[in-house]
Chains A and B, each alone.
Chain A
Amino acid sequence: DAKTTQPPSMDCAEGRAANLPCNHSTISGNEYVYWYRQIHSQGPQYIIHGLKNNETNEMASLIITEDRKSSTLILPHATLRDTAVYYCIVRGNYGQNFVFGPGTRLSVLP
């Protein structure tokens, strides 16, 4: 599996967009980009995933660069409840497992 690099922490003002970057320069063609988040002392929660195209769901948007070497998770209107650790994971096909790094600790400030 390709490795990912994320900033260890970020702050965001409540109501503003939170943009969380992830570098995955060694990603291969069949690997998906997944995002999860973990609120303190709970199990991780799936947010979104994508392969090549940008994706949007009710929680967030995922922007993947054309060369697929980096991506950005966007929380359009961050709330205090979005304070969590966000994990960017790159995973390939059947049989490969998720590798959770330290992630980015997002603090949404009032």
Chain B
Amino acid sequence: DGGITQSPKYLFRKEGQNVTLSCEQNLNHDAMYWYRQDPGQGLRLIYYSQIVNDFQKGDIAEGYSVSREKKESFPLTVTSAQKNPTAFYLCASSIVHVSYNEQFFGPGTRLTVL
């Protein structure tokens, strides 16, 4: 089956610890994205990458870091510098097309910092 996987589904961490969220896709998409969602809110873009070894900050990149060493993988690290890390994190991927791109989303990881 082709798709995007995120693991784990639920994650608990103590305050002050860094934590890395996994995102893997086998759709052969060049672009990958990380979004954050707070209760009752829309999605906000954290980071995105349109090609291996390159990525750009989104609207709320502070306190987060990413890497894109492989086309299939785009892990997100939530650092201790992120003031309010408890949220629902969504990863997406898409082709890179001049006119349009449909984004495919993973099931999400719900992070709770205690």
Interface residues of A (CB under 8 A from B): 30, 32, 34, 41-46, 49, 87, 91, 93-95, 97-103
B105 touches A49 (CB 8 A): no
Distance from B21 Cβ to chain A, minimum over Cβ atoms (Å): 13
B100 touches A101 (CB 8 A): no
Beyond A43-B90, A43-B105, is A97–B96 a contact (Cβ under 8 Å)? no
Determine the chain A residues whose CB is within 8 A of the CB of B105 once the complex forms. 43-45
**Chain B 74-97 per-residue mask, 1 if CB under 8 angstroms from chain A, else 0:** 000000000000001010100011
Number of A-B contacts (CB under 8 A): 54
With CB as the reference atom, state the residue of chain A lying closest to B91: A43
With A44-B43, A97-B58 given, name 8 new contacts (CB 8 A). A30-B99, A42-B108, A43-B4, A43-B106, A93-B99, A94-B98, A94-B99, A97-B48
| Cα(A20)–Cα(B110), bound, Å | 29
Among A43, A44, A45, A93, chain B packs the most CB atoms within 10 A around the CB of A43
With CB as the reference atom, state the residue of chain B lying closest to A87: B42
